[in-house]
């Protein structure tokens, strides 16, 4: 079989059946968790997403797709709230 078919996370989360939410809702959910890779940060995780997107926008104003990637890059971390390890 293909490596994709063997991925239990793909089977569990691929259908997006646990919860449907907007990007803004997902960014707000990020604020509920403490990121193990950066536990001493005193500002919300969503702030990091906006800060990253804005930094990319300043450096690459002509690449709107890249601004979006900066905003979304940590959204997978919300899976911690559904029982996945960090």
- Return the number of other C-beta atoms located less than 10 Å from residue 51's C-beta: 13
Decide if 49 contacts 70 (C-beta within 8 A): yes
Please report, in range form, the residues annotated as the binding site.
48, 73-74
The tokens of 21 are what?
């939410």
Question: Per residue in 4-48, pLDDT tens?
Answer: 556 787 787 777 676 788 999 999 999 988 777 776 677 888 998
Rounded to an integer, what distance in angstroms lies between the CA atom of residue 70 and that of residue 60? 11
pTM score, whole prediction: 0.74
Name the H helices within 1-86.
Answer: 8-13, 23-30, 45-59, 64-72
Question: Per residue in 47-58, pLDDT tens?
Answer: 989 999 999 999
Please report, in range form, the residues annotated as the binding site for Fe cation.
48, 73-74
């Amino acid at each position: 079989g293909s490596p994709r078919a063997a991925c239990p996370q793909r089977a569990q989360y691929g259908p997006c059946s646990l919860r449907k939410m907007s990007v803004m809702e997902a960014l707000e959910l990020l604020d509920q968790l403490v990121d193990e890779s950066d536990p001493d940060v005193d500002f919300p995780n969503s702030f990091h997403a906006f800060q990253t997107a804005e930094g990319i926008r300043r450096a690459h104003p002509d690449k709107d797709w890249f601004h979006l990637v900066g905003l979304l890059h940590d959204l997978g971390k919300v899976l911690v709230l559904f029982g996945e390890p960090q």
